[in-house]
Amino acid sequence: MNLNWLALAVPFFVGLMYLEYVVSKRRTKEIYHFEEAIANINVGIAERLCDLFTTGMFFYFFKWIYDHAAIFHFANTWYTWILLFLFTDLLWYWYHRFGHEVNLFWAAHVVHHQSEDYNFTVSARITVIQASFRCVFWSFLPLLGFDPSMITILLLIHGAYPFFTHTQLVGKLGWLEYIFVTPSHHRVHHSSNPIYLDKNYGDVLIIWDKIFGTYQEETEQPVYGLTKPLNSYSFLWQHFHFLLEMSIAFTRAKSWRQRWLVVFGKPDHIDPNIRPVLERLLLSRQRNKASNPVLTRYIIGQTIMTLSTLFLLILLEHYIDGYQLLLYALFIFLSVIATGSMLEQRTWVFHVEFARVATLAILLWTYFPFDSLATMLLLVFFLVVLFYNTTADYYYQYVYDDEHHR
């Protein structure tokens, strides 16, 4: 069978998250909070899904550069692998640094720093936009003459390492602190303490930070998250708030220099008063929590189902038709949007749920294209539309324990 065994990364890393949660409970360390964990996992689900569509494109992009523009052509030797690793890690450092110091790149990278928790789930907060920017930086590797197959293998290994640095359960690691990026180093990077801002950009090796002057040792208790907390678990708001801030700042700019700074300047060049305006316009005034046991169980169930769908989709991708792949993708995206809005008890979540279930029904029909099934699904669809408001009222009463929520 032609299975994509990279799908095993989903249960493997989710299992490690659960293990860290169990260990933290035994050590009585409150490093996990339900809303933050679900929001983090939602971002990771979307990123894994997008990788399914983009990873192949990245490989062929690298191959085209290697075949048509490579300066050298390095042979596959042991020292070539070492050179490739060093160049990859160096390029990561500069990509990561630009991701904090250039607004256009920060718009993609900011999602990774929004969580006020710091645990393994935070490592999942990677956006597909961020992966695309990385691809641009890593295109220097085939340009130098490294084989795309070698690059792909190394990037898979290189990309797994940072997962293990997103934890509070590991202290300082002795002599390893002088060479490798450790959990202590990366805790500094994720902190909003003034002394820690814009420090420790390295991915595997910490030596680049020491060479380029961005190293900071962990000397005080980190405070995690953005300097101005996001105060939202919404999947959509997490991804687009800074782009909206940039758009407003760009329209307000009165000169080309100011517009240039909005796009390519530092985040400091964006007026901090823009976000509160957008929050009043687009976000609910109260940040609710999923304290209702029914809602909590419902969100957990939806998340498990979405993760399972993602796992099977990646595992069996070679056996799924293109239009079905798009339906699965739509179902998963609607699912993470729905659970994100449930965390804040948003009033429009039923509309997303309706679209999600409708997508699932169409997907079911593609596997069992019987007239009787189509008739039954259309009948159910018609009844829900006919009694849409009543159905929504029952839904909110059950999920939010609030018959007036809608």
The pLDDT averaged over each successive group of 10 residues in the chain (406 residues) is 88 96 94 94 91 84 94 92 96 95 93 94 86 86 94 91 95 94 97 95 96 96 92 88 94 93 93 90 63 87 95 92 92 94 87 94 91 90 91 88 54
Number of helices and strands (H, E) in the chain?
Answer: 17, 0
Enter the pTM of the model.
Answer: 0.89
Tell me if 201 sits within 8 A of 73, measured CB to CB. no
Residue 273 token pair: 């008063």
- The CA angle 84-88-92, to the nearest 5 degrees, is 175
Q: Determine the residue type at 90.
A: L
Residue in this structure with the two tokens 């450092």, named with its chain if needed: 93
Residue 404: the pLDDT is 44
The answer for residues whose C-beta is within 8 angstroms of residue 379's C-beta and 6 or more apart is none
Residue 284: the pLDDT is 64
pLDDT (tens digit per residue) in 247-296: 999 999 999 999 999 999 999 899 999 999 998 888 765 555 556 888 99
Residue 110: the pLDDT is 93
Q: Determine the residue type at 13.
A: F
Collapse the DSSP code of 205 into the 3-class scheme (helix H, G, I; strand E, B; otherwise coil) and give the result: strand
Neighbours of 356 (CB within 10 A): 21
Residue 58: the pLDDT is 86
Residue 387 token pair: 């009694």
H or E segment to which residue 27 belongs: none
Residue 406: the pLDDT is 44
Collapse the DSSP code of 187 into the 3-class scheme (helix H, G, I; strand E, B; otherwise coil) and give the result: helix
Residue 24: the pLDDT is 96
Residues forming a β-bridge with 224: 191
Neighbours of 315 (CB within 10 A): 17
pLDDT (tens digit per residue) in 341-384: 898 888 889 999 999 999 999 999 999 988 888 899 899 999 99
Domain spans of the chain? 5-212, 235-282, 293-399
* CA R_g for the chain: 23
